[in-house]
Amino acid sequence: MKKVVFTSFAVLLALAIFSCNDFAVPDNNLVYIDGKPFVNLTIGSGSSSRALTDTLAKSGVDFYEVAFFHEESGEYYRTSWSKGRNGRLLLPPGEYFGSESAILFAGNRRDLTLLAVGLITGVGINSTTVTPVSNAQATIEFNTRYIEFTIAPFLTDIYPRAGGKAPGEISFQIKDLGTYVGSDWKATGDIALANFPFYCKGEVDKPVPLFMLPKGTNDIEAEFTFEIPGAFDFSDYSEGILISNTPKIDYGVVLGGDLRTYQPADIAFDDLDPDDNFPDDGILKFIIKTEDENSLTKFTFEIPVVAIDRAESENKIAPNTWFIKGGLENPILDEGGGDINALGGAILLGVGLVEYIIIEAK
C-alpha cells in the first residue's frame, strides 16, 4: 500500500453524498418509515458528485462502503456500491460525530483490500452550499441534501533509500533483538538490499529490502506502521475500523542459493484481537522467534475489519469484511514505495549468516 497503498499520492479526494432527485420525495427531503423521518440520499451520482481521480482508480479502488451509527436510536445504517454505480441510503437526521458515527471505506472489490478511508468534512443543502465541519462532527438536518467525505489513503514504504525514507523512518522496523538462545550470534537488525529474483535468469533484478535477524532467538520485537496523510490523525479514523476476526500471518518460500527456506517457529501479533479497534497510532506490533540455523523466509499479514461495527444495519445490510494488508498483491515481495509504487506486501527476513550469500546470489 505504498506506496499509497496508493504511493506518495497524498492528494485527498472528496466524495459527495447528495440527495436523490430520482425519487418522488417531499420538498423537505424527508421520507417517513414507521413514523420516523429519514433523509433520502444518493451517493456518487449526478453532476454534483466530484469525480474520483485516475490516480485512485490506478491504485485499485473500485468499491466503496459507507456506514453510519445513529446514537439517539442506537441503530446502524450502511450501503456499498461499485465504481460506476450509485449507493443509496435513507439516514435519520441527527448528530454524527467522528469515525465511530460515520466512516467511508474504499478499496478493491476483488478481495476487499482496504486502501483508503474517509471522514465527513462538509454538509449542505446542495453541492454549491456546503458548510465545512470540524473534527468530522456533522449535524444532519431535515433539509440536508449533501454530505462530503474526504478520502485519504493508507501509506507505507519499507524501502530505505536516498531521497526517500531513512532506515529509521520506514514502515517495517526491528525494534528489539530479543533473547538470544542459539549457538552463534549473527545479524543485528540491519537492513540489507537483496537482488530478487535470485535465480530467475532473464528477468530484471529488483532490489528488495532484506531484514536481518539473529538465529535461535526468542521475543524479537518488530513493528509495521501505516500512515494516513491529511488533516486527520490516524486516531481520528481508528474508532470506525473494527477488527472483526482473528488477524492472520502467512509464510512463503523464496529462493536463495543453498539456504533453506522455512516457517519461523512463531511470528505473532502482539495485542491485536477481534473486537479491538485498529491501533490508534496505526502501528502493528509483532513478536518473532527464530530457529537456530541460517534461513530465509517471507511473511505477510492480513487483518479483517468492518466499518464501525459487525451488527447488521437497520436497513438490513450486513457489513462487508475488508482486509488491511501490506499490499494489494500481498504474497508478492514488497519492493518499497516512493517512485517504485510496488504492489507486493510480503516482507523478506534473513536469519543468521545470509546477507552476503543473498546479495551475491545470481
Q: Tell me whether residue 164 is in a domain.
A: no
pLDDT one-digit tens code per residue, 292-333: 888 888 899 999 999 999 887 776 788 999 999 998 888 888
Burial class (CB in 10 A: 0-12, 13-18, 19+), 33: exposed
82: closest CA among 57, 55, 48, 117? 57
Whether residue 108 is found in the same domain as residue 80 = yes
Q: Are residues 29 and 112 in the same domain?
A: yes
Mean pLDDT, to the nearest integer, of 242-263? 81
What pLDDT score does 157 carry? 87
Same domain assignment for residues 202 and 316: yes
Q: How many domains does the chain have?
A: 2
Last residue of a domain, one of 129, 156, 183: 156
Q: Is residue 88 part of a domain?
A: yes
Same domain, 124 and 242: no
> Do 119 and 30 have their domain in common?
yes
Tell me: do 111 and 236 sit in the same domain: no
Judge whether residue 18 has pLDDT over 90: no
For residue 356, the model assigns a pLDDT of 62
Last residue in a domain, options 156, 191, 211: 156
Average pLDDT, the chain: 78
Question: Would you say residue 192 lies in a domain?
Answer: yes
336 shares a domain with 190: yes
Give 161-198 pLDDT, tens digit per residue: 777 788 888 999 999 888 877 666 555 677 777 766 66
The predicted model gives 35-52 an average pLDDT of 54
Q: How many CA atoms lie within 13 A of 294 on its CB side?
A: 14
- Does the residue 128 lie in any domain? yes
pTM of structure: 0.85
- Specify the residue for cell string 513493528: 223
* Average pLDDT estimate for 334-357: 75
Claim to verify: residue 204 and residue 352 sit in the same structural domain = yes
The pLDDT score that the predictor gives to residue 127 is: 67
pLDDT above 90: residue 21: no
Q: What was the pLDDT predicted at 149?
A: 85
- Give the least confident one: 3-7, 232-236, 259-263, 297-301: 3-7
Domain that holds residue 223: 172-360
What whole-number percentage of the chain has pLDDT above 70? 74
Q: Which helix (H) or strand (E) holds 224?
A: strand 220-225
Query: Is the pLDDT confidence value at 265 over 80?
Result: no
Asked whether residue 44 falls in the same domain as residue 100, the answer is yes
Residue pLDDT, tens place only, 115-153: 999 999 888 877 677 888 999 999 988 888 788 888 888
- pLDDT given for residue 52 in this prediction: 39
Mean pLDDT value across residues 252-278: 81
Listed in sequence order, the residues at least 6 apart from 305 whose beta carbon sits closer than 8 Å to its beta carbon are 114, 241, 242, 243, 244, 278, 321, 322, 323, 324
Top pLDDT among 24 and 266 is at 266
pLDDT of the residue at 5? 44
- pLDDT tens digits for range 190-225: 777 776 666 544 455 667 888 888 888 889 999 999
- Is the pLDDT assigned to residue 48 strictly greater than 50? no
| 165 within a domain of the structure (yes/no) | no
Residues 351 and 202 in one domain: yes
Q: Binning pLDDT at 50, 70 and 90, where does residue 255 land?
A: low
- Could you say which of 156, 182, 200 is where a domain stops? 156
Q: Looking at the structure, do residues 193 and 339 belong to the same domain, yes or no?
A: yes
What pLDDT was estimated at residue 221? Answer: 94
229 and 299 inside one domain = yes
Q: Which string of DSSP letters, residue by residue, matches 281-328?
A: T-EEEEEEE--SS-EEEEEEEEEEEEES-SSPPTTS-PPP-EEEES-S
* Position 141 in a domain: yes
| In the predicted structure, residue 280 carries a pLDDT above the cut 50 | yes
In a domain, 282, yes or no: yes
Whether the per-residue pLDDT at 339 is higher than 70: the answer is no
